[in-house]
């Protein structure tokens, strides 16, 4: 019942006037990306599509984040990007992921300070499965982003299950 009642000196407990929905929304917005993010799986822009597919299987993820020579976010490559490339008939060992990836600045990202709710909203609004968690590397310019994590639909599902647990 936390949140329904509030306490004041000499008044005691009183009804805080918040609906269950308001309390849930408050709790949701307190859940931060930094507390839920998973380890990012990254590959170099020059890596081949063949290596990207292998990494996808070995790391058991659906999306890879692509970084440039400086280790900064260059793009994103998804399962369907790789499937499309595989159907293209080119030699996958010779085709760099940099050629087929979705490229910066068109990448939708979140920061560790963002709420998990905002991340979930971006996943829905932009119809993507995964968001790189990034921090700006200021000395390298406004679009220089280091990848520090990933938020996926699985992350949100896990948090949803956690919210539904009644024993906490």
Binding site residues, ligand ADP, CB under 6 A: 62-63, 76-81, 102, 106-108, 128-131
Our CB check for ligand ADP shows the closer of 41 and 107 to be 107
Degrees to nearest 5, angle at CA 67 with 125 and 138:
80
CB of 149 to ligand ADP, least distance (A): 13
Cis peptide before 105 (omega within 30 of 0): yes
Nearer to ligand ADP, 67 or 131 (CB): 131
Measured from the CB of residue 151, what is the shortest distance to ligand ADP in angstroms?
9
Give me the DSSP letters along 72-84. Answer: -EEEEEEHHHHHH
| Closest CB to ligand ADP among residues 18, 146 | 146
In whole angstroms, the minimum distance from the beta carbon of 31 to ligand ADP comes to: 20
Enter the tokens of residue 118.
């905002």
**Considering beta carbons, is residue 23 or 102 the nearer one to ligand ADP?**
102
Q: How far is the CB of 66 from ligand ADP (least distance, A)?
A: 10
Which residue lies nearest ligand ADP, judged by its C-beta?
80
* Cβ atoms of residues 79 and 63 within 8 Å: yes
Half-sphere exposure of 77 (CA within 13 A, CB side): 32
The total of other beta-carbon atoms located within 10 Å of residue 49's CB is 26
């Amino acid at each position: 019942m936390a949140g329904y009642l509030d306490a004041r000196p000499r008044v005691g407990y009183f009804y805080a006037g918040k609906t269950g929905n308001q309390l849930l929304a408050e709790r949701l917005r307190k859940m931060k990306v930094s507390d839920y993010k998973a380890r990012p799986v990254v590959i170099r822009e020059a890596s081949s599509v063949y290596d990207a597919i292998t990494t996808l299987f070995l790391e058991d993820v659906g999306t890879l984040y692509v970084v440039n020579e400086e280790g900064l976010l260059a793009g994103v490559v998804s399962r369907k990007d790789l499937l499309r490339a595989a159907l293209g008939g080119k030699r996958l060992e010779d085709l760099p992921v940099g050629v087929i990836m979705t490229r910066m600045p068109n990448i939708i990202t979140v920061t560790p300070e963002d709420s998990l709710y905002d991340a979930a909203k971006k996943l829905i609004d932009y119809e993507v499965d995964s968001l790189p968690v990034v921090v700006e590397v200021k000395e390298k310019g406004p679009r220089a982003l280091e990848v520090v994590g990933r938020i996926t639909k699985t992350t949100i599902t896990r948090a949803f299950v956690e919210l539904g647990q009644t024993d906490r």
